[in-house]
Amino acid sequence: MITLAAGLRLPTNGLDYAILALYFLVVLGIGFAARRSVRTSLDFFLSGRSLPAWVTGLAFVAANLGATEILGMAATGAQYGVAVVHWYWIGAIPAMVFLGLVMMPFYYRSKVRSVPEFLLQRFDRSAHLLSSVLFAFAAVLIAGVNLYALSIVVEALLGWPQWVAIVVAGLFVLAYITIGGLSSAIYNEVLQFFVILAALIPLALLGLKRVGGWDGLTHALTTAHGGNFLTAWGGTGIGQANPLGANWLTIILGLGFVLSFGYWTTNFAEVQRALSAKNLSAARRTPLIAAFPKMFIVFLVMIPGLVAAVLVPKIGAPDGLQYNDAIPYLMQELLPNGVLGLAVTGLLAAFMAGMAANVSSFNTVFTYDIWAKYVKTGRPDAYYLRFGRLITAIGVLASIGTAFIASSFSNIMGYLQTLFSFFNVPMFVVFIIGMFWKRASMKSGVWGLLAGTTAAMVNYFWIYKQGVISIPTDQGANFVSAIVGFVAGALVMVVVTLFTEPKPQAELAGLVYGTTAPGLEEPPAEGDDAWYRKPALLGWGALVLAALCYLPYSL
């Protein structure tokens, strides 16, 4: 978990606080201004499926660009060096492209309003209920992690007591989502995206200048940590030792394939942004547009991490500066008032947006998938809209309560990915088999989910934590657990399918690869046939560009 070192208090002044206050005002203003656009539950939960692609695309990046991601990835950079690029170039881009090019047509055309609702259509109620409950639980937990992390950072940097930060940030999120719904959350995410860039770009540039440019950085780190610290793949041969504790196979399969496909293609907090796009073309372009900024954001978090590793050679030692302190430390060292206020605003905005993304997906799943399907069915739409607002408030309060769970992990990303490897891995295997294998039976969904989650947990908590098999680091163990969960889920689905009923052909139309549902084709919107809006071009372009990014760090 985040524990920032003492003595990181920032020299903020009135100018910085004015910038921060202005942002909070605009956040609330967006909520109130979006209120008049909410007439149905679909407006509240999915922005009426009517937003343009560039808005949903930037929100898709920003929903992931929470402060836990920013501080955590800078920490990973300070600790493991350039290997952090794996989380972006192989750990995000291929999955985002796959979502846009392959999976989105099934998601969007079927008009499902959530990821679990797709499972209800494709499999049965047991798979649906299980995934809904797991997701709702995880979303509140992660929202709580964000809130807790925010309070620690705010306490260290600004000196506010933790409870003040939790209450203030929690109430702001509560207000703008309850009032404006998903539109308000998405608009704030787009705004946050630009503010965090305005904060990180100056920080990365000044950091580089401080250590004598890229050459100075390379020289200092090679001297201190050896040449592999500045390469992506150095030392990742099977059997070789590297600080990441993973080899090329577990990086590609565990991180690149299972973990990241699970996260980017079935985590509803992300997919929801694409489902709120105005048509199929815009929905497919959502993750593809997001892939391009995502690819380059790694430099903005990696460089401060590396610079901190140069400036504080003992970073990570028990009683000194911690890896998570990298960005706050550079803010304190390098940023004068003004830009400093922007950076604080960017961090707070990122924390709130990360929490809001989870709350705004939690309320949708809880209302549509749990309440409206199993508790109070068949009520008029206005009832579910009212209930959605109520459960949003309850979700925020619950995440305040769960904020204290996360305290035994040294690195936030490790914590989050441990959770994702348990909940998201089996989701991905069930989706991929369900979408590509018509025969996969109705019952195979729920058993695949159970088997995958259990196998990943057993591998992590028993085989790894109890030392049955030696894996060097938590990260490495995460990657292996993900692969184990994937394989177990797939095997169990195949076996269960052999002994149980398939889903009737007619009900699979439009849900499985190679089937089409009559009447679902919509004519392309005006202008969507422009070359720069072609999903195939955007998707393959992103893949090629990500591969090119690897070159300077692999040769």
> Which stretches of the chain bind another protein, using CB under 8 A?
15, 18-19, 22-23, 26, 29-30, 33-34, 36-43, 47-55, 110-113, 117, 121, 183, 187, 190-191, 194, 198, 201-202, 205-206, 209-210, 278, 333-339, 342, 381, 507, 509-511, 517, 520, 525-526
Helices (H), 318-380: 326-334, 339-364
Cβ-based nearer residue to another protein, 37 or 162: 37
Cα 425 to chain centroid, rounded: 14
**Cα 138 from Cα 159, distance rounded (Å):** 30
Count CB atoms within 10 A of the CB of residue 145: 27
Cβ-based nearer residue to another protein, 188 or 473: 188
Cβ-based nearer residue to another protein, 520 or 545: 520
345 with 19: CB under 8 angstroms? Answer: yes
Give me the least distance between CB of 198 and another protein, in Å please. 6
- DSSP label at residue 335: P
Give me the least distance between CB of 210 and another protein, in Å please. 6
**Cα 534 from Cα 281, distance rounded (Å):** 8
Give me the least distance between CB of 25 and another protein, in Å please. 10
Cβ-based nearer residue to another protein, 173 or 255: 173
Give me the least distance between CB of 509 and another protein, in Å please. 7
- Give the closest residue to 172 by CA, choosing from 366, 476, 452, 396: 396
Cβ-based nearer residue to another protein, 213 or 237: 213
482 with 160: CB under 8 angstroms? Answer: no
Which tokens is 142 given? 């992660």
Give me the least distance between CB of 218 and another protein, in Å please. 18
- Give the closest residue to 434 by CA, choosing from 116, 199, 220, 184: 116
Cβ-based nearer residue to another protein, 110 or 410: 110
Cβ-based nearer residue to another protein, 35 or 225: 35
Cβ-based nearer residue to another protein, 210 or 219: 210
Which tokens is 288 given? 């593809």
Which tokens is 205 given? 């540039």
**Cα 420 from Cα 262, distance rounded (Å):** 8
Give me the least distance between CB of 110 and another protein, in Å please. 7
**Cα 376 from Cα 283, distance rounded (Å):** 30
Cβ-based nearer residue to another protein, 49 or 219: 49
Which tokens is 60 given? 């898709």
465: which residues sit within 8 A by CB, 6+ positions away?
none
The helix, strand and coil proportions of the chain, stated in percent and rounded to the nearest 5, come to 75, 0, 25
Cβ-based nearer residue to another protein, 381 or 529: 381
Which tokens is 318 given? 């028990």
Give me the least distance between CB of 401 and another protein, in Å please. 32
Give me the least distance between CB of 15 and another protein, in Å please. 6
Count CB atoms within 10 A of the CB of residue 314: 10
Give me the least distance between CB of 120 and another protein, in Å please. 8
One-letter amino acid at 514 equals G
381: which residues sit within 8 A by CB, 6+ positions away?
40, 41
First to last CA, the chain: 35
Give me the least distance between CB of 154 and another protein, in Å please. 21
